[in-house]
Structures are given as structure tokens and as C-alpha cells.
Structure 1
Amino acid sequence: MSDAAASIPFHAGTEGYTSFRIPAVVVSRVGTVLAFCEGRADSAADHGHIDIVLKRSGDGGRTWGALQVAARNGSDLAGNPAPVVLDTGRILLVHVRSAASATEDAVLRGQVSDADGRRVWVQHSDDDGVTWSDPVEITGSVKKPGWRWYATTPGHAVQLRSGRVVVPANHTVPPTGGDDGTEAKYNSGHCLLSDDRGATWYLGYVDENTDGYINVNETTAAELPDGRVYFNTRNDSPAPGNRADAHSEDGGRTLVRPFRPQAGLTAPVCEASVLQLRDPDLLLYSGPADPAARALMTIRASADGGTTWRSAYTVDGLPAAYSDLARVDADTVGLLYETGDFSAYTTITFRRVPVNRLTWPGTAARTDVESAP
């Protein structure tokens, strides 16, 4: 099923950037599609001079405006964009910053100072993403002393029907056996919460599993129709499959149970995205479906809150890696994803997928809810 309309907002080696990685997409209250990613200036590495760049589309992702820099940290790093559109129309952009020289390995080994390490910031736009406020640091509210690596999402964050903003995130604690980084590295999960639309922030659940069975890494979230929050994460561990999931019944403050393997999602070790549709009631998941390689970008769907999954739409068999999902309009889901003919990191492509391609008998549209996400 490769006939859904596609466009390419970002192509490696153009517009002043060597590489574009880590896509995130939201749709504003007036219908503008905002495609974010990391613009990596000097190389494809995860450290160095990295800006958060943005392109806007007023026609549902068919064409794109000029490249904008939404967040810049001088010649250092601003990355892991986690945007969310609020009920007020304001667009929040939560992200991390660090020194350009702060490699992941050095951070994990405790060789980077707190000032140069991974710190958390937020900006906002009140004009549909045209301009952005000055960044405000929130590290002290959402990062515990001793945490080393830290990353928001990647992908979009969510605002719950209660008004609370939930930003999934992950961190690492010092490795067992000492501080030299030679022992096991334990990824751990947590989320950032705001009950005043981004003015103040605090930590929600913290899931620090150090037995090596589950390593919670890059995490995505959606609010289910029954009000629970569903979290799905990249699992860097020997547990069955490479995905794990969990639910929260209190808006992300705690988890009903710690993350457990989700073997129903065949996937390589890679980031993914989830999105809850309200009309029809379907939970969507996007990510590569080849169990051994970042390839075969596929949207899967669940009608039972993430317990079971079915393949709903396969883009093609090409290399593909990180992705994000957004509801464009009543008839369309947008998929922003990394792909290319010979490398998953050649382009960040946007694909318009008809909602009726994602449904099956028994998932007819409801008429008692709004069609907007």
C-alpha cells in the first residue's frame, strides 16, 4: 500500500544541514501541519551543533514553507523536540539542550558536568508556529540529581482531556559496579507533567528497572477513550520483542504496573509513535516492522487499548527508522518518518494516510465524539 500521497520536507545535505533526524509532527488548531526535527549542522552524529528546525504546511502536508529554526543553542545542541498543541491554541515545544561535546558515552560515564549535560527547556508559539518565545529552563523540576542521560520523547507530547500536559521521557542512572561506565547501562522511564499549560512542571511516574529485563528508552504516549494514558517504549533488553508498554490511570502520575514486554509488536530496536483516534476509536502505532532491521515502515492498530495489534498500513519495504503520527483532518492521518532508498536517514518524509485504510469491520466511526484528536 504505497499509494498514499507523500512529500519530503527534509532532505539530508540541504538547507545548511548535513543531516535531519528525530521527526515530530503536530497539527495546529487552525489546521497547519508543523513538522519538526533535528537539523544536524556538521555531521549525522547525535552530538555536536544541532538545531530544532521546523517546516509548516497550510495544505495538509502536501507542500511546505521555508525552513525555520524553532530552537537554537548557539553552536551547541538543542534536540529531541516534543511539541504539543494546547486547547488554547498555544504550541509548546519541550526539548533538551547540552554542550556540543557532550557525547552519549561521556554522559553515561559521568564525564560531563551538570552544566554541559542534558538539560530540559520549554518554548511556546502563539502565532501558529511562525515565531517562538525565548526558552525557559525547567531542569530543576523534572530531572533528579544523579540522572545522567536524559531525553524527551521523541515525537509529539499530549494534552489530556483534563488539561494536563504529558511528555514521555527517559533517563539513565549510574551503572552498577561503579562510575566508569563499564558495567550495565540501565535506561529508565519517566514523564513530565504540567497542570497549568506549561507554566510549571513536575515529574510523573518514574520506572527504574535495573534487572536488565526491561530497559525503558524512547517513549510515546496517548490518552485512551476511557481516560487511561497508554505508554509504549523502545525496549533495549533481552525481553521478548523490542517493545514494552504500560498504562496509567491517574494521568501519568503513576503506572498501574511497571513496563512489561509487548511481544505483539514485531519491531527492531527503534523509536516509534502512538496516536489515539476518536473517530473511529483506534489506537495507532507507527514504526519499522522488520524485526532485525530499521525497515518496512508500518502503521498498526489496536481496538483494545494496546493489548493486541494488527497491521493496518505498510508504506513500503524501504529502510525506515524514527516516526511520528498526527491526525490531519477527519479523513487523514499524517505520518512523518525517516526513510530513503538505501538509508533510513536520507529524508524525513510526510505521508498522508486515509483513515479508511486503517480501519476494518467492527471499527466503524462513532458519531458521539469529535473527529479531532
Structure 2
Amino acid sequence: MYRTLLWILLLTVLCSFVRNEKINPAVVDEQLLWVGGQTGEVHTYRIPLLTFTSQGSLLAFAEARKMSSKDIGAKFIALRRSTDRGTTWSPTSFIVDDGSLADGLNLGSVVVDEETGAVILIYSLCFHRHHCKPSSTMMVKSLDDGFTWSAPRNLNPELGIKSFAPGPGFGIQKHHPPAIGRLVVCGHGSIAGDGVFCILSDDHGNTWRYGAELKSIPYNQPKNNLDFEPDECQPVELDDGSIVINVRNNKNYHCRCRMVARSLDGGESLPVEELVFDHTLEDPAVAAGALEKEGVLYFTNPANSKSRVNLTLRWSLNHGKSWVTDTLKIWVGPSGYSCMTSLKGNETEDHKYIYVIFEKGQKDYFESISFVKIDLYSDQ
């Protein structure tokens, strides 16, 4: 029995290695999920999120900005849902409405609890404190695969009133020790006291507390160009149980590239000894996508040091220590924030595809939000 298990493990590793060596991604389908500038209740759609539920449905979220393209202002949270891996989509529904707040909601991170099936969405209100205070960290939850959503719940009684903008992107549930089952959502703080912070839940989102932090320098003071200001971020868990957080380098400290932080204790801390600057990942200071799938680390961003153009997919076979020189140009024109997901299933197509949602335009990157399906092994 022991020898059989060993052979199965060895074959799994070898198959994974062979598959990784033959990665040759290609876009096989694209759909515009949202287009701004139209008549109706929404002026601009921004900040796309994407996740699979535990039942295999695909959920796409976005900020639906009511009056303008600006970060400040009243918004909805828009949702579209697919039950056929992105081939067809439901009409847009608005699952949160902040009314007419001068400093409305900021989206946010979505995290799926695979043990309970709950889909949890964390967002902020009044993050910029423009004509309102205090800032609030908010949560809504779906227990029926994204069909219906709970009333918003304010997490300030648990977390305090420190400004916290989750993501944007997805949170994770730990699959490897330490802290198996823990929900981890990471984001950044307010403009003056910025930095990366993570909130943790060990009871399926019933309660939350602050964990890891990587504070800006000078902390709680206005920032200048080239100051250390870790900002919007995307965590992923590696198979050794560590959490790697790909971070926006907001003031271009040290380089026009990405910061990468790492937690070894389940999101409790982000030691500065683990912080690196990844010069391969040139970046114009933007929210980027990261995803770990079958031992491969994927990354999307506008691959340009100054402008939000040229949305590119990269992949690493060694957990981000280096990146394969080949890349996939998803869109060469104006492009902004992005988010990725994949389905952890037993079907062949579940191993073969990843899915990307991103801001796309002809003149400006925030004109529309596009969804693409990517075949990782297109020549096989």
C-alpha cells in the first residue's frame, strides 16, 4: 500500500512537471462584461473581481460608479454570474447600494470558504474620508452560490476604525499548515498611514481580527515620490503553506516594479526579511492579478513601467523566484486592474484553463471590463 501511494505521488509530480514545461497560453474566448459611458444608473465600471464558488459557478464583480469615473463618489457593487465556466452570463445585478455617499464604497476582496460554501465579499466605506468619517470595513455574504446576499455587516466593532481597503482581488482559505481553514484577506491602509495589512478569520468569517502588517515609511504621514508605500495587493498560498503577497509599489520605492511580501505563519506577520522587489515585474503602480495553480505561479498586470497599457500574463515554475521569458500579451492597449481565477476540479478542462478579468479600453483603460478564458496548453 505504501509503495503504491509513493508511485502515485511520483507520477503526479512527474506529470505536473511535464505539463509545466509545456505551458503555452493562448486566449480562446473573450467577452465584455461591462461597458461604461452608457445611459442608466452607472457612469463607469471599475475594480473587477473574479472567483469560482465551491459549487463551480463563476462570479464576476465590479464597482459600478454612479456619477463619474473617480474613486470618490456613490457606487453599486455589480455582479454577473456564470454556471458554464464563463460561456454565458446572467444580467447584471446590484448586490450593494451605498446610496448617495460622497465617499462611497471601495471594492474589495472576495473569499470563498470551501468548508461551508459561503462566498464572502469584503469592502470599505468612506475609505478616503471625503466629507465623512469614520471609515468602515464592511462584509456581505452569500450562502446560496451567489444568488442572494446578506445585508451589509460593519466589521468596525471587531477591527476598529482604521481605514482598510481590501485587495482588490481575492482572499484565500489556507489549505496547508499552519492554520488550515483560516480565511486571509489582505489590503492597504489610508493615504497617510498606508501599508499592507491582513485580516484573519478562524471561524468561517463569523469574527475577524488584524494579523500581518507591513507599514509604510514614514508611517501615518503624507508620502512623497520614492517613499516606501506598499499598497493594493493580492495574496496566494504556496504548497509549502507560506502566503506570498504581490504588492503595488505605489511611490516607486527602489524600482518601478512589484514588491513581494511573504508570511510564514499563516498571515500573522510579514517580516521585512522576506520582502523582495521583483525587477522582472515592471509595473506602472496598479492593482495586479496573481494565481497559484498546480505548482505554477501566474501574474497579470499592464507590463509597462510608466503607463497602464499592455496587459500581460507571466508564469513562474519556481514560486516566483524567476519568471519564464515567454509571455502572453492579453491586450496591448490601455489596460488597468486585473484578477484571475481557476477551478480546482477533476475535469480535464479544469486543469487546462485559467480565467482573467481586467479593465480594458481603446483610449482609456477604464472604458470597459473584459473577461478572457486562457488555454494554458494551447498546442497540445
Give your verdict on TM over 0.5. Answer: yes
Q: Of residues 64, 71, 75 in structure 2, which corresponds to 1:39?
A: 64
Q: Which runs of 5+ in 2 are unaligned?
A: 1-24, 219-225, 344-349
Q: Of residues 205, 211, 219 in structure 1, which corresponds to 2:212?
A: 205
Q: Of residues 309, 313, 316 in structure 2, which corresponds to 1:299?
A: 313
Aligned-partner Cα distance in 2 for 1:265–1:358: 26
SS at match of 2:54: coil
Identity %: 27
Asked whether 1:354 is paired with 2:375, we answer yes
Q: Of residues 236, 249, 258 in structure 2, which corresponds to 1:235?
A: 249
2:336 corresponds in structure 1 to 321
Q: Which moved more, 1:187-196 or 1:75-84?
A: 75-84
1:220–1:357: structure 2 CA closer, same or farther, 3 Å change rule?
A: farther
Asked whether 1:96 is paired with 2:124, we answer yes
Give the C-alpha shift of residue 69 in structure 1.
1.1
1:177 corresponds in structure 2 to none
**2:26 touches 2:375 (CA, 8 Å); kept in 1?**
no
Give the C-alpha shift of residue 140 in structure 1.
3.6
* TM-superposition CA deviations, 1:181-202 (whole Å, max 9, x none): xxxxx53111111111100000
Aligned-partner Cα distance in 2 for 1:16–1:2: 35
Aligned-partner Cα distance in 1 for 2:73–2:227: 32
* TM-superposition CA deviations, 1:239-296 (whole Å, max 9, x none): 1223101111111101232643221211211110111102xx1011111102221011
* TM-superposition CA deviations, 1:3-62 (whole Å, max 9, x none): 421011111134531100000000112221100010001111111111111000122112
What is the correspondence of 1:136-155 to structure 2 with a 5 Å cutoff?
136-143=153-160, 147=162, 149-155=163-169
Asked whether 1:165 is paired with 2:193, we answer no
**1:229 touches 1:247 (CA, 8 Å); kept in 2?**
yes
1:269 corresponds in structure 2 to 285
Q: Which amino acid aligns with 1:31?
A: G
1:358–1:275: structure 2 CA closer, same or farther, 3 Å change rule?
A: farther
Asked whether 1:75 is paired with 2:89, we answer no
What is the Cα-based RMSD across aligned positions, in Å?
2.1
* TM-superposition CA deviations, 1:325-359 (whole Å, max 9, x none): 00043221000000022221111000000122599
Asked whether 1:20 is paired with 2:45, we answer yes
* TM-superposition CA deviations, 1:132-184 (whole Å, max 9, x none): 011111124334x6x4x53110011111111111111101374xxxxxxxxxx
Asked whether 1:6 is paired with 2:30, we answer yes
The number of residues matched between the two structures is 332
What is the correspondence of 1:61-140 to structure 2 with a 5 Å cutoff?
61-76=86-101, 77-87=104-114, 88-98=116-126, 104=128, 107=129, 113-115=132-134, 118-140=135-157
1:262–1:139: structure 2 CA closer, same or farther, 3 Å change rule?
A: farther
Q: Which runs of 5+ in 1 are unaligned?
A: 175-185, 360-373
Aligned-partner Cα distance in 2 for 1:63–1:18: 24
**1:6 touches 1:62 (CA, 8 Å); kept in 2?**
no
Aligned-partner Cα distance in 1 for 2:375–2:94: 30
SS at match of 1:265: strand
1:283 corresponds in structure 2 to 297
Q: Which amino acid aligns with 1:170?
A: H
**2:26 touches 2:374 (CA, 8 Å); kept in 1?**
no
Q: Which amino acid aligns with 1:347?
A: S
SS at match of 1:330: helix
Give the C-alpha shift of residue 112 in structure 1.
5.1
Q: Which moved more, 1:2-11 or 1:214-223?
A: 2-11
1:18–1:256: structure 2 CA closer, same or farther, 3 Å change rule?
A: same
Q: Which amino acid aligns with 2:194?
A: N
**1:234 touches 1:269 (CA, 8 Å); kept in 2?**
yes
2:82 corresponds in structure 1 to 57
Moved over 4 A (4+): none
